[in-house]
Amino acid sequence: MLAFLIYPFVQALLIILFFVLPLKKLSKTVRIVLALLFGIGSLKIYFYLFTGGTFMDPKLTRYPAIISDCIYFSAIFLCILTLLRMILNGIFKLVRLNIHRYLIPAFSTRYAAVMMVISCFLGITGVINGFAPPEDITYNLKINNLPKEAQGFKLIHLADLHISAPTTESEIEDIVKRTNAEDPDLIVITGDFIDGDIAYLDHMTKILFKLKAKYGIYAVSGNHEFYSGYTEWLNYFSRGGIKFLENDGTVITDDNGAPLLNLCGLIDLSAPRYGFASPDIKKAIEDINSSVPTVFLIHQPKIALKLKEISALTLAGHTHGGLMPGLKQIVAAANGGLVSGYYRLDNEQVIVTNGTRIWAGVPLRLNTPSQLIKIVLN
């Protein structure tokens, strides 16, 4: 936690000392403006604290959040480019054995301008993409042993809504409207509904109670539910008709009582740190019907690696698609190689959504758009 609080100052100092100060051809006023813009812009977490929020539960409303995030991520990319320049110059000096020559001179205003343009383009584009509405994605899946009554069964998969201060009611209304327009048989939500408390977010979260599906709305927790009052939020959503499958399962049946599929869910991996049960696969499948396929809801996709012999289809979120190239590969490595899209693990099919929205703590998306996923079973 201490490193998390210190890092923004390290980034700010690096930008000021190794990017801004060497630009001696610029006027003192311009250098002060750059130092303030990218230096103070690096301290986003402290803006959250000053406005009564935290990194996990920001209290900045939408447009102040977008502006601060554009500056913040531009500063991050500028810091990365500055470090790369220092590394390349160091290698160049070693190869050429000349300490007075630079591949990319730090004092060059031309190179500095290029670095700022690239940084601002990536930062601003990433944030605008992060706050953009989700794209519609459809999967048509062949499921073994699916009863004829369930052919064409339609699921809508939502995840990582991350409803918080920068969220607007119209965003949630749009997601609900688009979901209901699909006339789904089932709606599933794989965790990370919120960032904040009920009193602050109720005017937006209650919009989710307008979701409608023939066989109901089911969900599992994500790690962020445990940061914001797990029990209170589960009771709240349950009262609104959203059924949580926390190490639990149910059999979805048609109007005649014929079983269509098993639906099971696991509590999030972070639960034990907050005094709750660990994910329990055995308990989740206690009451399933072995004659029909099983669909599993999880938040963190790496759990899917343990479900290969049980689950026909596993739905997960959590990764946000890795956010951007480069980071995506790191996120994949931390989640058993499962980061975004469709995977086949023996007989188990896995879909990891990029998330329906974005977390306000890191609202960045480069080539990883938010997704509203429709799945048709055949």
- Written as six digits, the tokens of 191 are 């965790």
Contact 268, 227 (CB under 8 A): no
- In tens, the pLDDT along 64-87 reads 999 999 999 999 999 999 999 999
Residue 97 has what pLDDT?
Answer: 60
Contacts of 98 by beta carbon, 8 Å cutoff, 6+ apart:
none
Q: What Å distances lie between residue 343 and 80, 154, 279, 351, CA to CA?
A: 32, 19, 22, 6
- Written as six digits, the tokens of 364 are 């960045």
Residue positions counted in the chain: 378
Residue 99 has what pLDDT?
Answer: 60
- In tens, the pLDDT along 261-270 reads 999 999 999 9
pLDDT band for position 339 (cuts 50, 70, 90): very high
Mean pLDDT taken over the chain: 94
Work out the average pLDDT over 315-320: 98
Q: Give the fold, CATH level 3, of 135-377.
A: Purple Acid Phosphatase; chain A, domain 2 (3.60.21)
| Domain locations in the chain as residue ranges | 2-130, 135-377
Work out the average pLDDT over 322-343: 97
* Listed residue (215, 305, 212) closest to 261, CA to CA: 215
How many Å apart are CA 203 and CA 281, to the nearest integer? 35
